Structure 1
């Protein structure tokens, strides 16, 4: 679902679709949407958000599509975390529901978190920033 006030933007160098991390890269570009990988938080400058996603969850798919369709602000990196397999991260941040977003600092410490079940948009994710 696309927010009516946002134009659909094509992917650009600062806004690439979700992808697996290429281990040859040393850091992730800000304003990006990436699959989570070990070391991602420490390697990534700027604002970091963990999005706990499950492929079978319709609300997760809606948020994923909205993130893909819109421009992520410069300086923000959203990491897509597999809800079903990342049990260590779920436990670390107290995540019990899909569509949970967790903002973390450079050390991986929780800044704030929320569940975007009712409003599955990039705008809602941005509005939840600390």
Structure 2
């Protein structure tokens, strides 16, 4: 079982903190501590659902494209933690049975950038921001 560091919001549903898969409660609103505005800090499953249903183009490309770029499949690399039921719940659980379904596949190739205790994230980032001059 992998822990994400996300914390349940005060006043909402709370995790049971039991052993194993029963540690987290399903459907609980969470934020990541130490991040910016909590309303902008969403869970990984929320991001996947957003990208799947709204497109992966982002703000910059949406200015240049006529139509959104939609995902038609997800490929899960070998050696990564994966639960198909959880992925299906994340992608379609809040959108009903009529939601378009992506093809979900598994690769036999290991993900070369999988979490490794000897690796550290880069502290640099690139940010694009459009502002009005008015």
Higher relative contact order, chain-length normalized (CA < 8 Å, sep 6+): 1
Q: Under a length normalisation based on structure 2, what TM-score does the superposition of the two structures give? A: 0.21
Q: Rg: which structure is higher?
A: 2
Q: Under a length normalisation based on structure 1, what TM-score does the superposition of the two structures give? A: 0.22
Q: Which protein has the bigger strand share? A: 1
